[in-house]
Amino acid sequence: MTHESFGARLRSAMDTRGPLCVGIDPHASLLASWGLPDTIDGLERFTYTVVEALAETVAVFKPQAAFFERFGSRGVAVLERAVADLRAAGGLVVMDAKRGDIGSTMAAYAEAFLRKDSPLFSDALTVSPYLGYGSLKPAVDLARESGAGLFVLALTSNPEGAEVQRAVRSDDPARRTVGATMLAHLAAENAGESPMGSFGAVVGATLGDLSDFDLDINGPLLAPGIGAQGATPADLPEVFGAAVRNVVPNVSRGVLKEGPDGAALRAAAERYANEIREAVGA
């Protein structure tokens, strides 16, 4: 059975609803700012308020799995329902779990989030390639089979990331950095795909000029850092250059701080989507 690819669904969703990904990050301080307790009840009220307010208008959602997992099985149950409700309303879900391992363990992680009949099946999954890009093969294979996608950590927005991602490979005759190597692998995965491939990179919007890197991987670029981390929609063309049309800008606190009022959440998301659309020429 064939499925419409994640890349095709993503392009359509961003063109229709606007190029915005809203992170769903129910950390304790955000719950408190909403007047909610740091309990399973607070988690439920926060999550379902976001889903109800935004599921039918925002293109992409990125729930951070850790903030649900910390509540154990009941927290994961909230995440399962949120994923199902978001997808039923036409939103795409990128599960931010940053999984990475080898062999059968990587395959099990992939099955949790990328197998069609999994309770946590998501449109895409963030993964860590730092056991070697080849360690991701079980996730790549299952994503292709399920019509899902991956976002591979490449050039992340946290300052510590540079010590790994910008390290030069002594085993590479071209002396590429680790981050550049990941981008090259993804470009190979996406070769020939239209309107774009399903295998994307995580590239921080706060990193400034990235012209030393080939970001044209014919796939999506998940870009955290807009809003609370200091980047703005207007920064996107400078950071991403010719690849800016494939950027999936993520905003979390910039939208979520407007809760718990649903209308305020919708207004903030619409404002960011419009600013991003104008900045990238969508």
d(CA 114, CA 104): 15
Under 8 Å CB-to-CB from 134, ≥6 apart: which residues? none
d(CA 138, CA 67): 26
Q: Which residue has the tokens 């606007």?
A: 18
Token pair listed for 188: 């190979």
| Catalytic position from the list 98, 116, 137, 257 | 98
Q: Are 211 and 243 in contact (CB under 8 A)?
A: no
DSSP string of 48-97? HHHHHHHTTT-SEEEEBTHHHHTTTHHHHHHHHHHHHHHHHTT-EEEEEE
d(CA 20, CA 94): 12
137 classed as catalytic: no
d(CA 235, CA 280): 10
Q: Which residues are catalytic?
A: 98
